[in-house]
Amino acid sequence: MIRSLARACQDILDLPDDGSVEAILHPGSRSDEGFVSFFLYRGGRPLCIAKVPRGDDANTELEAASLRMAAHAVEGAPIVRTLDQVLETRHIAGRLVLFKEFRSGKPAAQAIASKRDALVLPVFRSVAAWWIDYVEASRSHHVFEAEAKREAVVSMLEPLGAIDMAAPWVQLFLSEGSAFLGPSHGDLVPANVLMRGTVVDTVIDFENFTMGGFPSADLVGWIISTATKLHGRGDGMLSNTVIGGSGFAREVALAVQAFTRRCDMPIEVFVDLLPLYSHRSLSIAARWGLEREADLHRRLLADFVAQRAAVLAAWTA
């Protein structure tokens, strides 16, 4: 298998087949939905990544399509160069293999894990700015039509087993003209962003990408996934992230203000739509049976409602 992958990589990149390609195996997820990844090098220089599906070839087709859609949504904009890039898909040894560009930045998770403001704050700021730029660059694909928004909400809530279309946040999302659907990464967390220093090099893992998702929830996802690494998952996490006077809380406020300003969305609407993030996350947790994640997002859902006034005050200060 490795030799076949090496030959395919050399062919795709138009390199001589001289037997000099080496591979490092990364087993990845062990579920049938996951991939085995091979990192291919030549003379110590990264060449490409080959992702071999553990199960159905449909997994490869889905990820390749997601990556291509993500690039299409911002076609012509400079930000497209920071996306994980598909090179080709090929059938090898009975599997449809996805060959991707090899980008060698360091995961943002490493900087966040340091808990040093000198690293954490510029990395957090850089990724938040990247997402806001992506949302703006994909503006032509934003959808404000109420029925389309309704269908997206129903689809999101179905795995939870109870669709409460009368919930205040649902009614606001459907009726508010500044709320929109759009290209959405779906898993914007520190492990899925590669950095060069404190600058975003590449955003990866578009398995949950959709053209009609919730871009505001991606920004909240970036905030919360960073916050849990800094402050844990306890009851004080939201206060430390939003209401406290830390440098991180100030960066969060600036990110929210920049997003709402660039999207012409009142901050009050953004705050009242925070349950959108919790319900999306609960939906994912329900599909994958992630009870620990579900506990976190149930608590956040309650906190977003109970602490609304304090959150709004912090972000409008």
Mean pLDDT, the chain cut into blocks of 10 residues (317 residues total): 91 88 76 80 91 89 94 97 94 94 91 96 98 98 97 91 87 97 96 95 91 97 96 88 90 98 98 96 87 92 94 94
In sequence order, what are the beta bridge partners of 39? 24, 49
CATH architecture of 2-101: 2-Layer Sandwich (3.30)
pTM of the model: 0.92
**pLDDT at residue 2, rounded to an integer:** 87
Q: Domain-by-domain residue ranges, the chain?
A: 2-101, 106-316
Report CA Rg, the chain.
20
What is the predicted pLDDT for the residue at 18? 81
**Six-digit token string for 10:** 């050399």
pLDDT on residue 26: 79
Give me the pLDDT at residue 255, please: 98
C-beta atoms surrounding 304 within 10 Å: 22
d(CA 131, CA 135): 6
d(CA 188, CA 262): 19
First-to-final CA distance of the chain: 58
Tell me what pLDDT residue 118 has.
Answer: 96
Report the CATH superfamily, name and number, of domain 106-316.
Answer: Aminoglycoside phosphotransferase (APH), C-terminal lobe (3.90.1200.10)
CA distance 217 to 303: 16
Please identify which residue in the block is written with the tokens 């508010």: 176
Structure tokens at 262: 């660039």
